[in-house]
Each structure stands twice: as structure tokens, then as C-alpha cells.
């Protein structure tokens, strides 16, 4: 790390522009309105989600919620997806 970097004005070679694929800050801050429900799930399902959540350093309830949201988005293409709602909220800001 102590070696100095020598900068030159040489050509960089063939370059290409990479499209911006990162979500905007508004998309990252968007929180969908939640509704509390009581739901009985099988013990094996909860054990699975808790185990996976631990591996991925997240909450198991969040994983279940995202799974259900993804299912709804895939099953109802005519309805607005969560991403579409998030995009609209970002445009309003």
C-alpha cells in the first residue's frame, strides 16, 4: 500500500457506458402500507424461514411478506405490482 501510483494520460481503450440500474433513493425509502394479520403456519415452514433468515441476516417475517408479495405480483399481471406502486410514489416526490 505504500507504493505510489503513477498516473499517465494514456488512452483507456474501448469504453462502454453502463446504464444506471440502481434504484433511486426514493425507491429505497418507500414503505408500503402494511396490514396486521394473524396467520397460523406449519411448524416446518416457520423453522425453514427462521433458518434461512438467520443465514441471510434478515427477519423471517420480512422474507414471508416478500414471498407473498412476489406471488401476488406474478399472479395478477393486470394489477399494479409493488414495484409499479413504488415507482409512482418516487415520481410524486
pLDDT of residue 52: 94
pLDDT of residue 50: 95
**13-64: pLDDT as tens digits:** 888 888 888 777 777 777 778 899 999 999 999 999 999 999 999 999 999 9
Spatial CA neighbour of 39 closest among 81, 79, 68: 68
pLDDT of residue 45: 96
pLDDT of residue 80: 56
Q: Are 64 and 49 in contact (CB under 8 A)?
A: yes
Spatial CA neighbour of 67 closest among 80, 43, 44, 48: 48
Amino acid at each position: 500500500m505504500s507504493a505510489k501510483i503513477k498516473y499517465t494520460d494514456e488512452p483507456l481503450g474501448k469504453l462502454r457506458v453502463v446504464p444506471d440500474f440502481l434504484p433511486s433513493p426514493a425507491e429505497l425509502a418507500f414503505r408500503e402500507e402494511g396490514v396486521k394479520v394473524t396467520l397460523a403456519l406449519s411448524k416446518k415452514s416457520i423453522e425453514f424461514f427462521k433458518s434461512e433468515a438467520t443465514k441471510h441476516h434478515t427477519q423471517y417475517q420480512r422474507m414471508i411478506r416478500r414471498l407473498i408479495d412476489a406471488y401476488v405480483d406474478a399472479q395478477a399481471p393486470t394489477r399494479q405490482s409493488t414495484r409499479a406502486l413504488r415507482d409512482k410514489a418516487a415520481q410524486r416526490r
